[in-house]
Chains A and B, each alone.
Chain A
Amino acid sequence: MKLTQKHQDYWRRNLRITALLLAIWFVVTFVVSYFARDLARFTLLGFPLGFYMGAQGSPLIYVIIIWCYARYMNDLDREYGVNEVEHEADDQRP
């Protein structure tokens, strides 16, 4: 398969968004949990902040990350003209 400039651009932009979102994922998971004790000074909806992040904050951010990724990549596919055809079924495949 020959790689065109377009392919390389597409892949680079994919890697960039993936790295950015993974960095956010890392921060809300590991950095926030590491400092959970220090975050307990702040409260949100009656929860200490560290507890809130573990119970609701981080999981909600995960969903947003996945939503952003799906949206960004699906737009990117359209922009680079790689709208794949949806096949109804693939019984013919080996």
Chain B
Amino acid sequence: MAAFSAPLRRYYAFYTTGFFIVIVVLAILERYGMPPRWIGYSFLFLTIFLYATIGVLARTASISEYYVAGRRIPAVFNGMATGADWMSSASFMGLAGTLYLSGYQGLAYVMGWTGGYVLVALLLAPYLRRFGQYTIPDFLAARYGGKPARLVGVFATVLASFVYVVAQIYGVGLITSRFVGLQFEIGVFVGLAGILVCSFLGGMRAVTWTQVAQYMILIVAYLVPVTILSYQVTGIPLPQLTYGQVLQQVQALEEKIFDDPAEIDSRHLFRQRADEYYERILTLPDSLEEERERLSARINELKSSNAQMRDVVAIERQRRELPHTSDAARDYWEHLMRQAAQRGAEPEHHVTVYPGDGDGVNETARLNFLTLVFCLMVGTAALPHVLMRYYTTPSVREARTSVFWSLLFILVLYLTAPAYAVFAKYEIYSTLIGSSMAQLPVWVSAWGKIGLVSIEDVNGDGILQLAELSLNPDVILLATPEIAGLPYVISGLVAAGALAAALSTADGLLLTIASALSHDVYYKVFRPNATTQWRLVVSKSLLLVVAVLAATVASQKPATILFMVAWAFSLAGSALFPALILGVFWKRATPAGAVSGMTIGLLVTIYYMVRVQFDAIPWLGIDGIGMEPWLGIQSTSAGVWGVAAGFLTIIVVSLCGKPPDKETQDFVESVRYPEADRS
């Protein structure tokens, strides 16, 4: 193994140095007047070209290379690849912003997305590696005797992974459209090309080596801006250690800002506006007509009084955007009411835990925090694209070590994300809030143009209050280089990092879906006699079809995309986690128990999500299905019910049936002991 890793380390050392040289060269070119758009293009095409090169060099025609990279990825490199595979555009772009907006409550993601690896390491990775086939449904089929378990496993794998991959491709579209000015739909398909060059020719082997390259880019891109910011604010370039002090300064700023009279006034005005929308919703449908007449009257009044053309156009747009039916108006105003109410709400301190009315703990917030952590952890330990990575190590021992490396590499990002949130908060509270509306920094208007920052001088005093500023979570990470006043080359680097995060995760997911369909459904169920070449042809064509399908869905910009990502964890966790765990640790679990447990777990989760989240599904003609959440638990944590139902069903149904046969019991023994022979 050592002979195999030494040249690899050298290659990647050269590669990392090369990457730093490129950054420096671009920085110098920028000083000599290279326009920002070109820097954006350079980063986009250089990195995609790099991934394509690795993808082509690692092409393969062997089944084992294609599905599990020949099972010879050293633990450290598998750890890095898992890191890139794992950290999606949600972790890279969204996490820092979520932490900025929700303070302590956002830490559920940090704990959930790291603690899940304890479950992977202790309960799954070594046993799956010992089993040593190609996919997760392979394990279910071997343990639970045959096709039903395999097919339910495939269904859950494809469902969870597809939802997730759509979100990644959507992320690619956003990055390319923001940084290089491509149209969103074109950006999606450029990203698609970037994904396919990695996975199409070389399968898991190529994906693994591009993911290692992508990990390095994304981690450098994540660390550089906040490290510089930390140096500027505290004089020490170690944001993870210094943000404790900055947090105390933020608390002092919060005390001052929250009780400022102008601030209280702005919040009051927003709450009043929310009440007005509420009134209007109550008096539908008359209020819709009244509102239209009111706007028309206002337009005529302005026109006759020689007002600014800009004001007239703004109100005309308001009138145009007014919905035509009273159902649409209800949705429209409810949305605006929620927005206004949110801006008018009492702000919470960054470190306040489970904020409730007064000084007490909000029990619902606490319960939601704990259940979300649980769902994210269980989901982590059940998402097939992560588990599959532990099939690629040379041995069980390396699989165990590899989980350690994975989490270590992942932690570098997750320990930095809360620092991002605190430094950004410090900069915004100390310099932006309280400054004059006429002299806001350039980044505010630049990101405002694409709707990520919105500002409204509600009390008309010409000064920016905290309540008057509303930020989209993604902007915290994307705008940090500008907030810190860094050159554009750093922004380009951040974009390249975000692209690497989205592409690497999308690659892993697409490959997982294609393997589940080609290996588990086509080869194992329909054509067990298919030749090796033919299996690869099927796998590659499916990869292409799924990729185009996912890009098509992503280019429709589905509105519920953020919910869908959180749902993927609950779906995977409730369908696969109980069956996998009991499959290793409980010999008595039977095929009937597993199949019914997986199905019921999945159904309970879907039932809860749909009924809590939606009141109506128009395209199915279903109406009035909304329900009150049980114990106030949100739909993103639906997995708690599904996982519980899954475990319960497997145990009850298994105990009612006959114990599994000798062969199955022997199989369980064989995955428990690394040396045991499986024949």
Taking Cβ atoms with an 8 Å cutoff, the residues of A that contact B are: 1, 3, 7, 10-11, 14, 18, 21-22, 25, 29-30, 33-34, 36-37, 40, 44-48, 50-52, 54-56, 58-60, 62-63, 65-67, 69-70, 73-74, 77, 81-84, 86-91, 93
Cα separation A91 to B108 with both chains bound (whole Å): 42
CB within 8 Å of A: which residues of B? 1, 62-65, 70-72, 104, 107-108, 110-111, 114-115, 117-118, 121-123, 126, 132, 240-241, 244-245, 247-248, 351, 353-354, 361, 366, 369-370, 373-374, 377, 394-398, 400-401, 403-404, 407-408, 411, 414-415, 418, 666, 669-670, 672-677
- A74 near B123 (CB under 8 angstroms)? no
Give the complex CA separation of A52 and B110 in angstroms: 12
B240/A56 in contact, CB under 8 A: yes
Report which of B71, B407, B414, B677 forms a contact with A87, defined as CB distance below 8 A: B71
Known contacts A7-B676, A69-B400, A70-B397; 9 additional CB pairs below 8 A are A1-B677, A46-B247, A63-B404, A63-B411, A77-B397, A82-B675, A89-B64, A89-B71, A90-B70
Top 8 nearest A-B pairs (CB, nearest first) are: A46-B244, A54-B107, A82-B675, A70-B400, A45-B244, A59-B114, A66-B121, A55-B418
* Overall SS of chain B's interface: helix
* B121 & A70 in contact (Cβ 8 Å cutoff): yes
Cross-chain contact A66 with B674 (CB below 8 angstroms):
no
Question: Could you say which residues of chain B place their CB within 8 Å of the CB of A86?
Answer: 1, 394-395, 398
In the bound assembly, the distance between CA atoms of A65 and B115 in angstroms comes to 10
Contact assessment for B404 and A58 in the assembled complex, using a CB-CB cutoff below 8 Å:
no
How far is B371's CA from A34's CA once the two chains are assembled, in angstroms?
Answer: 11
Contacts of B414 in A (CB 8 A): 59
Contact indicator B245/A46 (Cβ below 8 Å): yes
Q: Is the CB of B122 within 8 A of A22?
A: yes
Kindly report which residue of chain B lies nearest to residue A57, judged by CB atoms.
Answer: B111
Give bound CA distance, A40 to B351, whole Å.
9
State whether B415 touches A36 (Cβ < 8 A).
no
Closest to A37 in B: B353
Q: Is the CB of B669 within 8 A of A58?
A: no
Contact A69 B248 (CB under 8 A): no
A29/B111 contact (C-beta < 8 A), A10-B673, A34-B370, A50-B353 known:
yes
- Contacting residue for A84 out of B107, B395, B408, CB 8 A: B395
CB contacts (< 8 Å) of B64 on chain A: these are 89-91, 93
The CB with the most chain B CB atoms within 10 A, among A44, A45, A55, A90, is that of A55
Known: A3-B669, A59-B115, A62-B118. A89 touches B404 (CB 8 A): no
Q: Contact at B71–A90, with CB atoms within 8 Å?
A: yes
Contact A54:B404 (CB < 8 A) given known A30-B373, A62-B114? no
Q: Which residues of B contact A65 (CB under 8 A)?
A: 118, 121-122
